[in-house]
Amino acid sequence: MNTLPWHELLFSQGFGTRRICHGLVEQGHVQFPVETAGTWQTVTYPLAEVVATPGLPFRVMGQDWSYHPLAYIVLHKPAGTECSHKPGRWPSIYSLLPAPLRQRPAAGAVQGVQAVGRLDQDTTGLLLLSDDGVFIHRMASPRHHVPKVYQVRCAEPISPGQIRQLLAGVELREERQTVRASAAVTTGTHTLDLTLTEGKYHQVKRMLTSVGNAVVQLHRSRIGQFDLPADLAPGQWRWLSPQELAHVGAKTG
């Protein structure tokens, strides 16, 4: 049973420094539900301990939250955003997340959740984010061959010959070995679902260019066993459930 003082629980969830979290509790900005009464009770003593179970509900300044020892997030990336904490021309995907997710304490120099791989600014679709370094490595490292599915719209009709080339392997400039798709299925005259187990720079666009076509729209729909939720609109995010994480051995408790 893991117990934490309330100010430490807030600190672990990214609500600021320990001093700030101490003040949030002391000033009456933190509440927890009283199940028997169906009401919320205000915490005013920062050192009061609470059993920190995953999913524990609480409120900070009127906003509902739940306790997560580690963060596992799915985000529907919209076009015109960059997967960078220091974006150039376009807004950062991290600006789509609430401040506590960006401020969760970490052992390294970078705070908050980090994206599992990147998508180009004009590419939409599934992004996973976490502060669990083991999970990020397991899902992003080429050594683990995690399949990623992209829905591709091309400028020209897709020919059977182009599909065969993508599956057999194509040569890309500055790459030592040929790069191939593990699956390529046409879904229309100009569209296909392309499955890759690598993550090279502009890989999908470069592969289609190498077979004589061009990408005009790109959307990632799946990473490993994680599908982009149908009810998640562009720019929206949600926590991944313990059931969704069970197959990858993520630390949900």
Give the CATH number, domain containing residue 118.
3.30.70.580
pLDDT at 221 over 90: yes
Residue 101 lies in a domain: yes
| pLDDT tens by residue, 79-133 | 999 999 998 899 999 999 999 999 999 876 678 999 999 999 999 999 999 999 9
Asked if 202 and 177 sit in the same domain, the reply is: yes
**Whole-number Å distance between alpha carbons of 223 and 130:** 14
Residue 53 lies in a domain: yes
pLDDT at 37 over 80: no
Asked if 139 and 153 sit in the same domain, the reply is: no
Asked if 240 and 121 sit in the same domain, the reply is: yes
pLDDT at 135 over 80: yes
- In this structure, the number of other CB atoms found within 10 A of the CB of residue 94 comes to 21
Asked if 84 and 49 sit in the same domain, the reply is: no
- pLDDT of 252 reads 65
Calculate the average pLDDT of the chain.
Answer: 93
- pLDDT of 249 reads 62
Return the active site residues.
120
Asked if 61 and 78 sit in the same domain, the reply is: no
- pLDDT of 253 reads 60
Q: What is the DSSP letter of 10?
A: H
pLDDT at 234 over 90: yes
Q: Give me the DSSP letters along 99-132.
A: HHHHH---SSSS-S-EESS---TT-EEEEEEES-
- pLDDT of 143 reads 85
pLDDT at 145 over 80: yes
Asked if 133 and 152 sit in the same domain, the reply is: no
Rounded to an integer, the average pLDDT of 200-228 is: 94
| pLDDT tens by residue, 150-196 | 999 999 999 999 999 999 999 888 777 888 999 999 999 999 999 99
Asked if 217 and 172 sit in the same domain, the reply is: yes
- pLDDT of 24 reads 97
Say which CATH number the domain at 57 has: 3.10.290.10
Q: Which two tokens stand for residue 14?
A: 């990214």
Asked if 27 and 58 sit in the same domain, the reply is: yes
Q: How far is CA 31 from CA 24, 46, 59, in A?
A: 10, 12, 5
Last residue of some domain: 35, 66, 97?
66
Residue 45 lies in a domain: yes
Asked if 32 and 131 sit in the same domain, the reply is: no
Asked if 151 and 214 sit in the same domain, the reply is: yes
- pLDDT of 3 reads 93
Residue 253 lies in a domain: no
- pLDDT of 109 reads 67
- Beta strands 226-227 and 63-66: pairing type? unpaired
Rounded to an integer, the average pLDDT of 13-39 is: 92
Say which CATH number the domain at 159 has: 3.30.70.1560
Is 30 exposed, middle or buried, given 0-12, 13-18 or 19+ CB atoms closer than 10 A?
Answer: buried
- In this structure, the number of other CB atoms found within 10 A of the CB of residue 123 comes to 21
165 sits in which H/E element? helix 160-168
Q: Which two tokens stand for residue 114?
A: 């980090």
- pLDDT of 141 reads 86
Domain count of the chain? 3
**Whole-number Å distance between alpha carbons of 136 and 139:** 5
Local confidence band at 1 (pLDDT 50, 70, 90 cut-offs): low
Asked if 99 and 209 sit in the same domain, the reply is: no
- Beta strands 39-43 and 49-51: pairing type? unpaired
Asked if 218 and 240 sit in the same domain, the reply is: no
Domain of 59, in residue numbers: 3-66
- In this structure, the number of other CB atoms found within 10 A of the CB of residue 178 comes to 11
